[in-house]
Structure 1
Amino acid sequence: MSARAESAGRTGERILDAMLARFADSPYEHIRLDDVAADAQVTVQTVIRRFGGKSGLMVAVVERELGRIVEARELVASPQPDVVLAELVRHYERYGALILKMYAEASLVPGLPELAVRGRVYHVDWCRRVFADRLPVEGSLRARRLAQVVAVCDATTWRILRADGGLAPAEVEVALAELLDPLLDAPRDQPHDRAPGQTGRTGQAGAS
């Protein structure tokens, strides 16, 4: 890659970072390209030439962040639900507020509703794959359990527990595990019966 191409790439990233920072703190409708350009130390014409305007820039930001989110989520390969939930809470501590804000304001930006749908489809597929061997085999029950698992692992549930419930991240992990545990079967390669005192399905201590 030439020095000119590298410089252009860094400029594009600065513009995206500036837009992301503005979006994190302000409603989309209140964001001005003049402010984004000033934050990125470029001209408004540079922003327009690279991204075609505010809506194009917002879509580019969400596309980049969605790629980063997918990359981070795919690194969670542990079959243990407690490990998965710990990583999920860490993920939402970084991205949860932005994800929910993007969904709330998607209708304001042409092209963003389609990305929101892509994000939701990915979340459902991720839950299906991560908990594949813990979901019932039977069709209608499996579909219902998957829908419940998707709801438990959703950013909205994290927000309710974290913000409305005032729970610390570690407490959110425990709360999610308690919600998830009744929905999951024991791993199909392990016996279902456990001796008293053994850990439950999500690795939490058995009820006393």
Structure 2
Amino acid sequence: MNKRKYEMTSRADAAARTADRIIDAMLARFATTPYENVRIEDVAADAGVTGQTLIRRFGSKAALMNATVARELARVAAAREEAAQASPTDTIHELIHHYERYGALILKTYSEAPLVAGLPALAARGRAFHVDWCRRAFPLDPSLSPTEKAVRTAQIIAICDATTWRILRFDGELDEAQTEQALAALLLPLLV
């Protein structure tokens, strides 16, 4: 590789690493702070860059938030796709593990999405992915009537939702293993 091409690649790699640090910092701030109270200066300081660098790279706080959610949605989708290839019991296990990491953040993103330009569309994409994933991860008997399929599909989607995880885990005061058992008890009978 010639020197100029190597330098361009190195600069691009450094810019990508900087963008990842900024997104990581935004994710950490958003996880613990209402969106309206997240300050660009704080995110920049957490990422080890200036506010000017952050704005030059992302344009605005809303654009940074959208980039953060888009990156995490891609990561979530990849992990969930892998889990969908397993048995229903293993898929439930991975879903609970996923919600232990992302559940509260998903629910917070949905609740604050209206505050951020562009974020409602990303939230809708995440929701559409969840619905499609549930259909593929937990296929139903094709001999079921259309009505029974629709009812069971709705039940599966609701059972696998982050809100159900939160209700079981926190409102129901279950630990992770108990939450997994409760979700399996709700879901597995629908797959017969």
| TM-score (norm: length of structure 2) | 0.92
**Counterparts in 2 of 1:1-208, with a 5 A limit?**
2-134=9-141, 137-185=144-192
Given the superposition, is the C-alpha separation of residues 74 and 112 from structure 1 closer, same or farther in structure 2, using an over 3 Å criterion?
same
Contact kept in structure 1, 2:84 and 2:136, CA below 8 Å: no
Structure 1 pair 20/179, CA: closer, same or farther in 2 (3 Å)?
same
Change over 3 Å in CA distance of 1:37–1:9 after alignment to 2 = same
Q: In structure 1, the residue corresponding to 2:83 is in which secondary structure?
A: coil
1:136–1:145 contact (8 Å) kept in structure 2: no
Where does residue 3 of structure 2 map in the other structure? none
Decide whether the 8 Å contact of 2:84 with 2:133 is kept in 1: no
C-alpha displacement at 1:66, in angstroms?
0.1
Q: CA deviation at 1:12?
A: 0.5
Counterpart AA for 1:80: S
Q: Deviations over 1:169-205 (max 9, x none)?
A: 11111101111133222xxxxxxxxxxxxxxxxxxxx
Report the number of matched residues: 185
Q: Distance in 2 between matches of 1:157 and 1:4?
A: 45
CA RMSD of aligned residues (A): 1.3
Q: Does the 8 Å contact 2:83/2:94 carry over to 1?
A: yes
Structure 1 residue runs without a partner (length 5+): 186-208
**Deviation, structure 1 residue 152:** 0.3
- Summarize the Cα distance change of 1:181–1:39 in structure 2 as closer, same or farther, 3 Å threshold: same
Output one character per residue of 1:1-33: Cα deviation in whole Å (capped at 9) or x when no partner: 611111111111110000000000100000000
Amino acid at match of 1:182: P
Q: 1:74 to 1:142 in 2, by over 3 A?
A: same
After TM superposition, give the deviation of residue 134 of structure 1 in Å. Answer: 4.5
Closer, same or farther in 2 for the Cα pair 1:105/1:183, shift >3 Å?
Answer: same
Cα separation, 2, equivalents of 1:46 and 1:137: 56
| Structure 1 residue 78: Cα displacement | 4.1
Amino acid at match of 2:23: L
Q: Percent identity?
A: 60
CA distance in 1, matches of 2:170, 2:176: 10
Instruction: Name the amino acid aligned to 1:138.
Output: S
Separation (CA, whole Å) in 1 of partners of 2:143 and 2:104: 32
Larger helix proportion of the pair: 2
| Structure 2: 5+ residue stretches without partners | 1-7
